[in-house]
Amino acid sequence: MTTTSAAPARTPLPRRRRPARARAYTAFRTTMIIFVVLVFVVPLLWMVMASFKTNVDIQDTTKTFAFTPILDNYANVLRNDSYLSFVRNSFVVAAGATGISLLLGVPAAYSMSRFNMQKSALMVLLARIIPGVSLLVPWYYVFANLGLVGGYSVLIISHMFILIPISVYIMMSFFDSMPRELEDAALVDGLTPIGAFLRILLRLSAPGVATAAILSFIFSWNNFMFALVLSGANTKTLPVAVFDFVSYASIDWGAIMAATCIMTLPIIVVALLAQKYIVSGLTAGATKG
Partner 1 sequence: MTSTSTHGVPMAERLSLWANRNRKWLFAAPAMVFTFLLICIPIGWTLYLSLTDAKGSVRRPADFIGIENYVEVLTDTDRFWPAVGRTGLFTFGALALELILGMAIALLLWRSFRGQRWVRVSILLPFVATPVAIAMMWRLIFEPNIGFANRVLSWVGLPAQPWLADPGMTLPTLIFIDVWEFTPMVAIILLAGLSTLPDDPDEAARIDGAGVWQRFWYITLPLLKPVVLVAVLLRAIDALKTFDLLYVTKGQGGGSFHEAETLNIYVYGLSFKYNDFGVASAVLILFFLMILAVMWILTFRRKGAKL
Shortest distance, position 5 Cβ to partner 1, whole Å: 28
Q: Which of 20, 24, 75, 130 binds partner 1 (CB under 8 A)?
A: 130
User: Residue 31, interface with partner 1 (CB under 8 A)?
Assistant: no
Residue 78 binding partner 1, by CB under 8 A: no
Least separation in angstroms between CB 208 and partner 1: 16
- Min dist CB 214 to partner 1, Å, is 10
| DSSP annotation of 94 | H
Closest separation in Å from C-beta 229 to partner 1? 6
How far, in Å, are 54, 99, 162, 223, 282 from residue 94 at the CA level? 33, 8, 11, 9, 18
Asked if residues 256 and 77 have their Cβ atoms less than 8 Å apart, the reply is no
Segment 237-243 long-range contacts (CB within 8 Å, at least 24 positions apart):
237/86, 237/89, 237/90, 237/93, 237/155, 238/86, 238/87, 238/89, 238/90, 238/263, 239/263, 241/82, 241/83, 241/86
Q: Is 286 in the site for partner 1 (CB under 8 A)?
A: yes
Residue 46 sits in the site that holds partner 1 (CB under 8 A): yes
Query: From the list 160, 166, 201, 255, which residue makes contact with partner 1 (rule: CB under 8 A)?
Result: 160
Contact between 279 and partner 1 per CB under 8 A: yes
Minimum distance of partner 1 from residue 74's CB (angstroms): 15
- Among the listed ranges 10-18, 77-85, 129-137, 146-154, the one in contact with partner 1 (CB under 8 A) is 129-137
CB of 80 or CB of 114, closer to partner 1:
114
Separation of alpha carbons 52 and 267, rounded Å: 20
Instruction: Calculate the CA dihedral of residues 108, 110, 114, 118 and round it to 10 degrees.
Output: 40
Segment contacting partner 1 (CB under 8 A): 8-16, 79-87, 105-113, 205-213?
105-113
- Residue from 213, 242, 255, 258 touching partner 1 (CB under 8 A): that is 242
Residue 171 binds partner 1 (CB under 8 A): no
Stretch that binds partner 1, among 12-20, 75-83, 148-156, 277-285 (CB under 8 A): 277-285
- In 80-151, alpha helices (H): 81-114, 118-129, 133-145
Check residue 32 for interaction with partner 1 (CB under 8 A): yes
* DSSP classification of residue 199: I
Half-sphere exposure of 284 (CA within 13 A, CB side): 25
Helix (H) / strand (E) containing 40:
helix 13-51
Minimum distance from residue 206 beta carbon to partner 1 (Å): 18
Number of H helices, E strands in the chain: 15, 0
Dist CA 169 CA 157 (whole Å)? 18
Of 153, 286, 161, 139, give the one whose Cα is nearest residue 220. 161
- Residue 36 or 185 having the CB closest to partner 1: 36
Question: Taking CB under 8 A as the rule, does residue 143 contact partner 1?
Answer: no
The stretch among 9-17, 59-67, 68-76, 205-213 that binds partner 1 (CB under 8 A) is 59-67
36 part of the interface to partner 1, by CB under 8 A: yes
Task: Please tell me what DSSP assigns to residue 189.
Answer: T
